Structure 1
Amino acid sequence: MLLVTSRQSKRWVIPKGNPMGGVTAHNAAAIEAEEEAGVLGLVCPTPLGSYRYRKRLNNGASLMVDVDVFPLAVNTELGAWKEQPERDRQWFTLADAAQAVDEPDLRDLIRSFGPDDFAAAAKRNTILQTVAAKSKVGHMFAWFQRLLPKTGNFFDLFEAHVVTVVAAADALARLLQDGNHDHIREIIERENDADEIHREVLRTVRQTFLTPFDRAAITSLIGSLDDAIDEMQAAVQAIDLYEVTSFDQDMKDMAAIIVDAARITFEAMPLLRNVASNGARLHELTERLVRMESHADDIHAAGLKRAFKRQDAGNAMGFIVARELYKHLERIVDAFEDVANEIDGIVIDHS
């Protein structure tokens, strides 16, 4: 997590500012991040939460301020930025970032972004660790095929699959931000890796006598995960077909939701190793995915309406292309909601 120092006291804070007229809250947050921290990326329109702190004004008054916090996936660090002479910036681990800030509510928000039990699960020396370090997962399947008929280690497969989903979501966000079609090839490669893992899960279900969950739950969960990355591939294939290089802000907002939904899903997967202990946290994560899907529906509707109004100016083909892209983006978010529903079902059955 990236923190910056405040101008006067030099304490560690997150970039923030006042509401901007005519600018949505999440886009205002992105502007502040660029000006104060010198970073660019897609910002999720759904806030993580809020915190309160006391701010001293230039006139001497000390007032309570409420801050909504939006996650921004950084993909560019600028060498020079507006407030560089006045601030330092530094990357922290989540635990260190929580310790570095002064505001108790913000500290809790940072901790909730990556709880200790998830960090411990993600650091286990499993196939996930190896997969995450490589650009492709296909080379690892000799290991999978030797181990899984004996152990039925579905958790490693779930976690390996979600690594590909997160990587594809990041590539999709970069594509919608800079229009570079090199990202399309990466998403297609990631989807191929995900297909290999999906097939391995289905083979393992047939070969394993005892499974951690109901067989239908296992196949439904991996199927929902695979649907998400399949729709990412469908989206970029449409972008490639129509040679689209610039994208509406509403599309970028939906892509930012997809990135955060993938991150939340990545957090949830290791927690399935112990549903009884992690049921409450899993339910919190799935609730957030459902809220994000509802928010994405609103953005989808607003984006389509704006695209349709452009049709009145003689851009009918532009509307057809935009409608197809919005359709794919909506389906990606819908797939993450399906993942949430599958996880909820497992929690209900096993917690």
Structure 2
Amino acid sequence: MSLNNIFQFLVPKDKKFFPLFEQASSSLILLAQTLHEAVNAPKSEREEYYKKIEDLEARIEEITHQTNLELSRNFITPFDREDIHSLITSIDNVAGNLYGAASRMKLYHVDKITKSIRKLTEINLEACQNIDVAVRELRNFKNIKNITDACARINKLENKSDNVYDKAVAELFENETDAKNIIKYKEVLSVLESATDKCKSAASVLEQISVKHS
């Protein structure tokens, strides 16, 4: 048995951090799913989705705040303190970008939703689902491969997102003549692509944690 495994055996079962991680990752799925539903909904119904996205982003911010409070209060943690901070911050960053995309679509009156926007929200939803898969394996580290496999899928999705974004921007410059439309659509596409980048950052943190406990 490695030193890490012995330490994990001796540390009391965590009742604070793991539930907070799982609340954050499950809320992240809901946020990504709501955004994907919003871009597939009629224009008249999107306002309701945007409000729900705002509420979910605020909930994840509160979970992040609570996690950092617990870090300051607890001497014993289930794994390295900096990894706990990095993990919850990376999830919060994904939520912030997804909310940012929804906010821009609302503020800029992006009424005509393109196939590329829909595809990027779909990719982000799948990436968030994989973050949740990996997060739920952190409780006991019995299935490290499930974490690494989920992270590998996220990395592939990030590459896919880059390709969708590059093609969408190229088509935008080629076909759109209104400068205002170019600016607002490129902004939305950029934030959605950045959200997938943040998913990749979360995967890197999860991989780092899994390596330390393998």
TM over 0.5: yes
In structure 1, C-alpha distance between the alignment counterparts of 2:162 and 2:118, rounded to whole Å = 14
Q: Which has the larger radius of gyration?
A: 1
Question: How far did residue 152 of structure 1 move?
Answer: 5.6
Q: Deviations over 1:185-239 (max 9, x none)?
A: 0000001111110000000011111111110000000000000111111111111
Task: Determine if the alignment matches structure 1 residue 263 to structure 2 residue 110.
Answer: no
In structure 2, C-alpha distance between the alignment counterparts of 1:325 and 1:152, rounded to whole Å = 39
Q: Deviations over 1:90-141 (max 9, x none)?
A: xxxxxxxxxxxxxxxxxxxxxxxxxxxxxxxxxxxxxxxxxxxxxxxxxxxx
Q: 2:140 aligns with which of 267, 270, 274?
A: 274
1:284 aligned partner: 149
In structure 2, C-alpha distance between the alignment counterparts of 1:306 and 1:348, rounded to whole Å = 41
Q: 1:152–1:208: 8 Å Cα contact kept in structure 2?
A: no
Match of 2:156, SS state, is helix
In structure 2, C-alpha distance between the alignment counterparts of 1:208 and 1:274, rounded to whole Å = 20
Q: 2:18 aligns with which of 133, 148, 155?
A: 155
2:213 aligned partner: 350
2:4 aligned partner: none
2:201 aligned partner: 338
Q: How many equivalent pairs are there?
A: 199
2:51 aligned partner: 185
Match of 1:221, SS state, is helix
CA RMSD, aligned part only? 1.3
Task: Determine which structure has the larger strand proportion and give its number.
Answer: 1
TM-score (norm 2): 0.90
In structure 2, C-alpha distance between the alignment counterparts of 1:177 and 1:337, rounded to whole Å = 25
In structure 1, C-alpha distance between the alignment counterparts of 2:54 and 2:97, rounded to whole Å = 11
Question: How far did residue 331 of structure 1 move?
Answer: 1.1
1:300 aligned partner: 165
In structure 1, C-alpha distance between the alignment counterparts of 2:85 and 2:15, rounded to whole Å = 13
2:113 aligned partner: 247
Question: How far did residue 244 of structure 1 move?
Answer: 1.4
1:208 aligned partner: 74
Task: Determine if the alignment matches structure 1 residue 167 to structure 2 residue 30.
Answer: yes
Match of 1:272, SS state, is coil
In structure 2, C-alpha distance between the alignment counterparts of 1:318 and 1:270, rounded to whole Å = 41
Q: 2:123–2:161: 8 Å Cα contact kept in structure 1?
A: yes
Look up the equivalent residue of 2:179 and give its one-letter code: A
Identity of aligned residues (%): 25
Match of 1:216, SS state, is helix
1:238 aligned partner: 104
2:10 aligned partner: none
Return the structure number with greater relative CO, CA threshold 8 A, min gap 6. 2
Q: Deviations over 1:70-95 (max 9, x none)?
A: xxxxxxxxxxxxxxxxxxxxxxxxxx
Q: 2:89 aligns with which of 200, 223, 227?
A: 223
1:317 aligned partner: 180
In structure 1, C-alpha distance between the alignment counterparts of 2:156 and 2:172, rounded to whole Å = 25
Residues 116-155 of structure 1: matches in 2 within 5 Å? 153-155=16-18
Match of 2:138, SS state, is helix
**4+ aligned runs moved over 6 Å, structure 1:** none
Q: Which structure 1 segments of 5+ residues have no match? A: 1-149
Question: How far did residue 323 of structure 1 move?
Answer: 0.6
2:8 aligned partner: none
Q: 2:14–2:77: 8 Å Cα contact kept in structure 1?
A: no
Look up the equivalent residue of 1:307 and give its one-letter code: L
TM-score (norm 1): 0.55
